């Protein structure tokens, strides 16, 4: 996660920069004690302090706690202005004065059209959200056991959607039982989410949690979009950014959270322009804000479950019951890691077996032994990240070495890290433990020797299968379920009724259905790298313009 820089988080605008803002807002007087926005509010305006002083408080526990004070030249707000999330902070006038009040719609126009202000505002918003995320008491509270799948589900969902939260572990926090008693919650009703210091949600679904935070769960049924992007990983987010910035009415869906599999990466070090690396979460957070500032609408969790065609529009039905009409679609639904083929897997998934290595999982592995299964870059990045917390990290691979599947820079770092050991020609045969994982029984696939490896967590990165189940009856898929596009589509696979009127072959990234494109990991033959996914997502928008007859921009 990026380091906090308060000079970026709390800039003071120059008189010239203030003059650029004035035409977009209304100057008004504010009185001592006036509340401009309050913890739990849904939606608020952007305020620039012209005179006086305004304090920002965090009060999730019921007692206001001062976080920042803004005087002339400073501005209020953070990411939630763009996302529409409920407000996590309170803004109260300490000293009467004047403010410039700007609506979220006008603010989007400012950050899209005035480069002198865009970087300042966007970077400040991102840094302020990081400050809230790292605050030990800010946001909502998730109370539950580390051995509960639903606890891990809620923590992962909150982390991947960058929702400020605090986890109270029933297994290790001595005050947890007292807190449950005060909230009149029985242990069998956990995990619970405490929101606004008083609202208790007993084991909510992801959709229920999002709804409680004020974000829209359902898409208005009377709208028709130019572009629907299915999936919000790097490819999907790039498509949403370019689609919205080039004037297309754009909507994006994701079944779980923004960022896709890249969003679970602890550190991406080979992405162009970031020599120090950045986390998948930071990349996703920046991309979402970028897309939203151009007007793209992003809905999570919202899973595409069916594709239809009605007249001139494609219709995507979602798990939320929505039917979304669009003139063109970009499918960027990605792929999911394959599961280990071992008995009792479901018993330990989410509590001892994981498919991502983020800060959430790393906290569970403090001073413990862990196993990373797989020899690709994702496995290498996970092993390096976990080595900073775990006592020992074992990388298990079926082959003789890492050279064929992992980047050289990762192999060298792993070799130099004392608490990482690579176990070659080794496969897990059995998971050990009752109630919680204590180790695995592994086998050397050449000698047949069985060895017991102590471990409290197993991280599986063993290849992926595409999210295309909802498309099987509608478009051509390859033998592995990935989507072939462009010239890789055989002529005899194309339905003449679909392509006769079009009068051409499928364009690059176009599927067997005209106007539907596939990019990123879900596309057959794609390069499984973040940079290539971003490139495909942005390039596909050009072909959407051609399909819609809008030309290129």
Q: Quick one: average pLDDT of 218-230?
A: 89
Q: Which residue has the higher pLDDT, 552 or 461?
A: 461
Looking at the domain that runs over 345-460, which CATH code has it been given? 3.50.50.60
Could you give the 3-state DSSP secondary structure of residue 59?
A: coil
* Predicted confidence (pLDDT) at residue 197 exceeds the cutoff of 70: no
Contact indicator for 10, 77 with CB cutoff of 8 Å: no
Looking at the domain that runs over 140-212, which CATH code has it been given? 3.40.30.10
Contact indicator for 164, 133 with CB cutoff of 8 Å: yes
Map out the domains of the chain as residue ranges: 6-134, 140-212, 224-336+464-548, 345-460
When pLDDT is cut at 50, 70 and 90, the band that residue 553 belongs to is: very low
Distance CA 142, CA 159 (A): 11
Could you give the 3-state DSSP secondary structure of residue 431?
A: strand
Tokens of 30: 């504010």
Per-residue pLDDT at 62? 65
Entry pTM = 0.78
* Predicted confidence (pLDDT) at residue 486 exceeds the cutoff of 50: yes
pLDDT in tens, 68-97: 999 999 999 988 888 777 788 899 999 999
Contact indicator for 47, 72 with CB cutoff of 8 Å: no
Please give the backbone phi and psi of residue 140, each rounded to the nearest 5 degrees, phi first.
-90, 165
> Could you write out the DSSP letters of every residue in 70-123?
E-TT-B---THHHH-PBPSSEEEEEEEEEEEEE-HHHHHHHHHH-HHHHHHHHH
Average pLDDT, the chain: 89
Q: Quick one: average pLDDT of 537-552?
A: 88
Strand 46-58 and strand 65-70: pairing?
antiparallel
Q: Percentage of residues in the chain with pLDDT exceeding 70?
A: 97
345-460 matches 224-336+464-548 in CATH topology: yes
Of 193, 239, 191, 317, the residue nearest 522 (C-alpha): 239
Per DSSP, 364 falls in state H
pLDDT in tens, 118-135: 989 989 998 888 888 777
Per-residue pLDDT at 170? 87
Burial, 353: exposed, middle or buried (Cβ in 10 Å; 0-12, 13-18, 19+)? Answer: buried
Distance CA 45, CA 326 (A): 31
Q: Please name the residue that has the structure tokens 């679909």.
A: 498
Superfamily of structural domain 6-134 = Jelly Rolls (2.60.120.10)
When pLDDT is cut at 50, 70 and 90, the band that residue 551 belongs to is: low
* Predicted confidence (pLDDT) at residue 552 exceeds the cutoff of 60: no
Looking at the domain that runs over 224-336+464-548, which CATH code has it been given? 3.50.50.60
């Amino acid at each position: 996660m990026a380091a906090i820089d308060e000079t970026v988080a709390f800039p003071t605008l120059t008189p010239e920069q203030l003059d650029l803002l004035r035409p977009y807002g209304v100057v008004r007087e504010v009185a001592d004690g006036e509340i401009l926005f309050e913890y739990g509010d849904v939606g608020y305006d952007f305020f620039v302090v012209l005179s006086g002083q305004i304090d920002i408080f965090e009060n999730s526990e019921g007692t206001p706690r001062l976080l920042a004070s803004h005087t002339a030249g400073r501005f209020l707000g953070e990411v939630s202005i763009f996302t529409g999330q409920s407000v996590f902070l309170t803004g109260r006038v300490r000293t009467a004065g004047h403010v410039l009040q700007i609506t979220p719609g006008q603010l989007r126009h400012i950050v899209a059209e005035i480069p002198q202000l865009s970087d300042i505002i966007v970077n400040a918003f991102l840094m302020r959200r990081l400050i809230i995320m790292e605050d030990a008491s800010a946001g909502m509270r998730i109370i539950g056991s580390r051995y509960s799948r639903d606890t891990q589900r809620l923590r992962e969902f909150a982390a991947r959607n960058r929702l400020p939260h605090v986890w109270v572990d029933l297994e290790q926090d001595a005050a947890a039982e007292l807190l449950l008693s005060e909230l009149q919650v029985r242990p069998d009703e956990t995990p619970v989410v405490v929101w606004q210091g008083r609202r208790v949600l007993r084991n909510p679904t992801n959709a229920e949690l999002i709804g409680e935070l004020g974000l829209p769960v359902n898409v208005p049924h009377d709208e028709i979009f130019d572009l629907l992007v299915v999936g919000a990983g790097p490819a999907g987010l790039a498509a949403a950014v370019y689609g919205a910035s080039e004037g297309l009415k754009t909507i994006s869906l994701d079944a779980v959270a923004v960022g896709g599999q890249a969003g679970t990466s602890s550190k991406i070090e080979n992405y162009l322009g970031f020599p120090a690396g950045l986390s998948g979460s930071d990349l996703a957070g920046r991309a979402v804000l970028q897309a939203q500032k151009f007007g793209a609408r992003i809905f999570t969790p919202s899973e595409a479950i069916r594709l239809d065609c009605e007249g001139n529009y494609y219709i995507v039905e979602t798990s939320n019951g929505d039917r979304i009409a669009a003139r063109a679609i970009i499918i960027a639904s990605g792929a999911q890691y394959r599961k280990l083929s071992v008995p009792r897997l479901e018993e330990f998934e989410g509590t001892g077996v994981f498919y991502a290595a983020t800060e959430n999982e790393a906290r569970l592995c403090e001073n413990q032994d862990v196993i990373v299964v797989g020899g690709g870059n994702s496995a290498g990045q996970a092993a390096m990240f976990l080595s900073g917390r775990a006592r020992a990290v074992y990388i298990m691979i079926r082959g003789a070495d890492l050279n064929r599947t992992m980047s050289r820079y990762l192999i060298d770092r792993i070799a130099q890290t004392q608490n990482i050991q690579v176990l070659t020609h080794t496969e897990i045969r059995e998971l050990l433990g009752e109630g919680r994982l204590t180790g695995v029984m592994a086998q050397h696939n050449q000698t047949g020797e069985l060895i017991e490896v102590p471990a409290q967590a197993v991280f599986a990165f063993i290849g992926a299968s595409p999210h295309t189940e909802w498309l099987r009856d509608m478009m051509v898929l390859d033998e592995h379920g990935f989507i072939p596009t462009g010239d890789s589509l055989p002529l005899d696979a194309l339905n003449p009724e679909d392509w006769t009127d079009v009068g051409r072959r499928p364009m690059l990234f176009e599927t067997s259905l005209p106007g539907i494109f596939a990019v990123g990991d879900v596309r057959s033959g794609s390069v499984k790298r973040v940079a290539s996914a971003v490139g495909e997502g942005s390039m596909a928008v050009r072909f959407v313009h051609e399909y819609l007859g809008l030309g290129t921009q």
